[in-house]
Structure 1
Amino acid sequence: MSKVIKPDFSKVSATRSRNMAAIRANNTRPEMKIRQALHASGLRYRLYDKQLAGKPDLVLKKYKTVIFVQGCFWHKHDCKYFKWPKTNAEFWQQKILNNAERDAINIQKLLKDQWRVCVWWECSVRHEDDFLWSVQRFQEWLNDPKSQYLEL
């Protein structure tokens, strides 16, 4: 009779738990990089306004504009950095889809309240050339009051 060997998921769970605990919600690298660039270009903002739908990462009241800095994994961006997890797939799929749905609802609420909304994806901050282009594109959009929504 052969012995059935069950995989040891305790190491995977402990590693996953440690990795997840290290992920920050605020003051992430992409967010800090965007904040520094906007501040250097003379723009002033507030952080995490709880009064607004979705608690935007940056609020530029002068322009009635909010910025969400989104991680490609957590918010299901259609880019090369987003991949569905293979372990505990059902849990992660539900969690990520819920995040994306909540994002869409919050954006719609803000647009309905006449706020301009920018979603700045993590992948556009990773490489310097992409980032410089996205900062320039944001500034052009900010000075064009016709457009209510921008995704970088």
Structure 2
Amino acid sequence: MDRLTPEARSANMKAVRRKDTAPEMLVRRLLHAAGYRYRLHVRKLPGSPDIVFPGRRKAIFVHGCFWHGHACRAGRPPQSRQDYWLPKIARNQDRDRQSVEALKTLGWDCLTVWGCEIRDTEYLLENFRQFLGPAKDSLI
């Protein structure tokens, strides 16, 4: 296993994007091709959801398994510096819960798409259709 220097690791972590990530872009392309129209990163809403359907009052969060502590292989915490990573991931999870609760209080429904789920586009499409209802102008 390659060990990165602290400087290289820091550069790696700084390169991680907050929005327009590869999983988010795939979800957006899939939704658009299925005929759904949406808004992006609506900052007026709690948690600034990644994808928002204002007319339907529905929001989708696209979470990276590692950063948000998903219970999958990619979501395992690192073996090093757990005193740093475990509280950081726990704060992310708390913030996620608070955002979803605040949105629910405002009458919104939320769906979380995990990075590990994006490989199965048929599953995603079915999940989106169940969550959002029929699209207005579907291409697929």
The TM-score, its normalising length taken from structure 1, stands at 0.82
Figure out how many residues of one structure are paired with residues of the other and give that number: 132
Give distance in 2, aligned partners of 1:89 and 1:141: 36
Q: Deviations over 1:59-88 (max 9, x none)?
A: 111211011000000000011111111222
Runs of 4+ in 1 over 4 A off after TM superposition: none
Give distance in 2, aligned partners of 1:19 and 1:132: 32
Match of 2:104 in 1: 111
Match of 1:81 in 2: 74
Match of 1:138 in 2: 128
Task: Say which SS state the counterpart of residue 8 (structure 2) adopts.
Answer: helix
Give distance in 1, aligned partners of 2:15 and 2:131: 34
* Counterpart check, 1:54 vs 2:47: yes
Judge conservation of contact 2:70–2:76 (CA < 8 Å) in 1. no
Q: Is there any run of 5+ residues in structure 2 with no aligned partner, and where? A: 135-140
Task: Say which SS state the counterpart of residue 66 (structure 2) adopts.
Answer: coil
The TM-score, its normalising length taken from structure 2, stands at 0.89
Judge conservation of contact 2:111–2:131 (CA < 8 Å) in 1. no
* Counterpart check, 1:34 vs 2:27: yes
Indicate the structure (1 or 2) with the bigger Cα radius of gyration.
1
